[in-house]
Amino acid sequence: MSAGRGTLDARVPSGPLVEKWDRHRDVLRLVSPANKRRYRVVVVGSGLAGASAAASLGELGYQVECLFFHDTPRRAHSVAAQGGINAAKDYQNDGDSVWRLFHDTIKGGDFRAREANVYRLAQLSNNIIDQCVAQGVPFSREYGGLLDNRSFGGAQVSRTFYCRGQTGQQLLLGAYGALMRQVQAGTVRLHSRTEMLDLVVEEGRAVGVISRNLVSGAVRRHAAHAVVLATGGYSNLYYLSTNALASNVTATFRAWRRGAFFANPCFTQIHPTCIPAGHANQRKLTLMSESLRNDGRIWVPQAGGDTRPPGRIPEAERDYYLERRYPAFGNLTPRDIASRAAKQVCDEGRGVGRTGRGVYLDFAEAIGRLGRDRIASRYGNLFTMYRQITGEDPWSVPMRIYPAAHYTMGGLWVDYDLMSTVPGLFVIGEANFSDHGANRLGASALMQGLADGYFIVPRTLGHYLAAVSRDPPRDDGDAFAAAEERAQGRIQRLVKTCGRRSVESFHRELGEIMWEHCGMSRSAAGLREALERIPPLREQFWETVGVCGSSLEFNTSLEKAGRVADFLEFAELVCRDALAREESCGGHFREEHQTAEGEAMRDDSRFRHVAAWEWAGTDREPVRHTEPLEFEAVKPSERSYK
């Protein structure tokens, strides 16, 4: 909500940081059990955030409609998370605490996150583990039966709970079980193969969404008292990413055009441990879990142009560059730092593999120290996956890895209650901006998604609904008619273009522009060039794109075209945000703003704020608002991992 022109008020509760959430819960308005069933909530998305929110709201007694474009919630992209989920249980007795998890997350985000939200996340982390254990999530355990932990980047303690290399999948199955229990109870209704096309806003409030059934092509209205978006991130903007091919920005971008501010869109994360692209026509990249950096050592040859097989390069001629540059954290430096370091050694001509865009992740020392069985118990499925994809055996030769687009810290702006600038529109998980600042630490995405879904939005949404009329929501008003007309018009425009160029080619070209000029490193000149190249590409798309088939059938070409059309508009916003933020912080690295050692250089005097962009209309530049970031408990300092 606006606190003055251009300034946003997050409505953070007063009081000491450690007491804010507890105090806030005590004063939130409540909805009685008898009245909960009179409220209808639409949840868009069925990943960890969406499934946990829908299940929790259904358990409370609300009428919930859950929309998702997969055939089952179990196919949500959350299944791809491999390494683990953070919590401050301190089971290893190594000095961890809620405070330390909070501090590591704030520091890891380069002091560009809201302090109160991050502390709440750390507080709730322990509740998440208890919830998931109660659901039967099979976390890995030590020999004696206690839950095991491992380390992740940006931390010097072992706080990450894991299910071998399948943590996201197992957590999602737990949430799925809770969700299906509510489906059976009749409080949640699932709409599979259904994609949100627009947000409906009436008298300034979110009152529903417009969707399209991806099998029949039917466009439908969904009226509700409140809407929850849990639609994930937008890394597929870069074309090649670790995201599932269907992941997109459409839901949040459509909400932006209806009045929800978009915060820090240029804060995108490049993950350092991905299998390098193998050929020019590759469509998807594969993530190798950050957990591998616990035991794998990253290195490149000391000399440029060294093409010898890794086994023939002596130890003295190897550069373990992360261990050399960051001795305190070594191979477990945060993702943004590890990614830039990999790019730097490859730019120096010391990269490995056919393209020279790769570094080694070597397990020889760990296998010799711990034994093959121990390594297999930790990473066996990851080793198998790597061998199946590359044809190389990581037991005998090092893995080859290189950074790739992975996660987006930017998202729709939300206040402390996770409500956007549109009243009644709540945004959770990766779809919002709130917890990770300019760089997310590993194993924190699952933590945020489940904290938002299980513990936060069920509380704060009730506070909003308590002041909303309990009359049944209607979908026959002018706002719904206008939104449906917009959606139908856009669909018909796509199918009637009848051009000769494929949707895929436009997406690939856009991704190349974004990766080159707004990827791991950015510059003012490069960003301006991107802003010059994107509008003509978008115009060409609407003039020459070829969408086969009809809108009233299962049509993957049409699905893809709608998503790429949104990427072609959204890309401009990302570049504008990157150009306006004249500093380097976390994953946003401006070449003009770096230290003599090549590290990110923040400008706290000018940019210690959240940038939230307001849509101003077609062919008009968006308006940049700010939310100042105040740090009461942690003083921003140079982010050093040396």
Show which residues are catalytic: 335
Q: What is the largest CA-CA distance in the chain?
A: 75
Burial class of residue 137, CB neighbours in 10 A (0-12, 13-18, 19+):
buried
Burial class of residue 26, CB neighbours in 10 A (0-12, 13-18, 19+):
exposed
Q: Under a CB-based contact definition with an 8 Å cutoff, are residues 399 and 384 in contact?
A: no
Packing angle of the helix pair 115-135, 20-27 (nearest 10 deg): 80
Count of CB atoms situated within 10 Å of the CB of 481: 13
CA torsion, points 188, 192, 195, 196, in degrees to nearest 10? -10
Distance CA 177, CA 134 (A): 12
Residues 6+ apart with CB under 8 A from 463: 28, 29, 30, 417
Distance CA 156, CA 16 (A): 27
Range 46-67 burial, b when 16+ CB lie within 10 A, else e: bbbbbbbbbbbbbbbbbbbbbb
Please give the backbone phi and psi of residue 39, each rounded to the nearest 5 degrees, phi first. -105, 140
Please give the backbone phi and psi of residue 551, each rounded to the nearest 5 degrees, phi first. -80, -15
Q: Under a CB-based contact definition with an 8 Å cutoff, are residues 320 and 571 in contact?
A: no
Packing angle of the helix pair 48-60, 167-185 (nearest 10 deg): 30
- Sign of torsion, CA 637 639 641 642? negative
Q: Under a CB-based contact definition with an 8 Å cutoff, are residues 55 and 455 in contact?
A: no
- Residue 434, amino acid: S
If residue 350 lies in a helix (H) or strand (E), which one and from where to where?
none
Distance CA 249, CA 255 (A): 10
Distance CA 458, CA 230 (A): 14
- What is the side-by-side order of every strand in the sheet holding 268-274? 268-274, 399-408, 359-362, 297-301, 318-319
SS3 132: helix
Nearest CA-CA partner of 107 in 520, 583, 638:
638
Distances (CA, A) of 618 to 5, 257, 622: 22, 9, 9
- Residue 584, amino acid: S
3-state secondary structure 575-614: HHHHHHCCCCECCECECCCECCCCCECCCHHHHCEEEEEE
- What is the side-by-side order of every strand in the sheet holding 609-614? 2-4, 7-8, 623-628, 609-614, 262-263, 411-412
DSSP for 368-434, written as a single string: HHH-HHHHHHHHHHHHHHHHHHHS--TTTS-EEEEEEEEEE--EE---TTSB-SSTTEEE-GGGB-S
- Residue 85, amino acid: I
Cross-strand bridge partners of residue 361: 298, 399
